[in-house]
Amino acid sequence: MVVPVYGEGFFHVSLSGVIWYTIVFDYRDPGRSYWGLLRSGGLLLEAEVERLRFEMQRLMDEERIVVNGSDVRAVVVNASISVRGYPGRSSAIFFITIPFRPRVGFNVYENFYGATRADYDYTVFWVLECGDFVRIESPGDVYVSGGFAVIRVKKGTSIPGYESVVFNIPESCFTRILGCQHS
């Protein structure tokens, strides 16, 4: 049985209209179950990866994500498992897309979900292709430097079930990166 011990989330905000979201969960895996699946490969490995993808999609569907006032749906496009360092430490990795319509000026990402308590430490990274973070409302310690933000949450932290990230995209970002004017 795998036991979660740490999580990382990576949000990469692209001006092309997608937030690329990668989640990595690290597990203590004393039975080396993922190690065994990776070594054997085949249908059992494929079935476990698909089960993980399906379960993460179910969790994503329970959340309400609003970007710039529009409800959007996070889609788990792929999942993977790996062993990190030694057979008793495994990971599940999820690759998720969140569509949005980027606009010049302030953009707002909001996530609504059930309140809970953090079962393990986790860190969330936000990276803007161009622009700056203005405000982040999230549990844990928040560090912001221009277009880069880090949120660190300790095990036991109360999670209220709401997060928001406000970022500013100047017109020059659209011109420089996409080569066009944007409205």
Length of the chain: 183
Contacts with 92 (C-beta within 8 Å, 6 or more apart), sequence order: 24, 25, 27, 52, 79, 80, 81
Here the tokens at position 22 are 């990668």
**pLDDT tens per residue across span 64-89:** 999 999 999 999 999 999 998 889 99
Given a cut of 80, is residue 181 above it in pLDDT?
A: no
**pLDDT tens per residue across span 94-152:** 999 999 999 999 999 999 999 999 999 999 999 999 999 999 999 999 999 999 999 99
Q: State pTM to two decimals.
A: 0.92
Domain that holds residue 101: 3-178
How far is residue 110 from each of residues 36, 72, 98, 178, measured CA to CA in Å?
A: 39, 10, 12, 25
Contacts with 153 (C-beta within 8 Å, 6 or more apart), sequence order: 118, 121, 122, 123, 124, 138, 139, 140, 141, 159
Domain-embedded: residue 183: no
Domain-embedded: residue 157: yes
Give dist(CA 27, CA 86) in Å, integer. 11
Query: What confidence score (pLDDT) does residue 176 get?
Result: 72
The count of structural domains within the chain is 1
**pLDDT tens per residue across span 24-67:** 999 999 999 999 999 988 899 999 999 999 999 999 999 999 99
- Rounded percentage of the chain residues whose pLDDT exceeds 70: 96
Query: What confidence score (pLDDT) does residue 1 get?
Result: 81
Closest CA to 78 of 58, 97, 98, 95: 95
Give dist(CA 5, CA 27) in Å, integer. 5
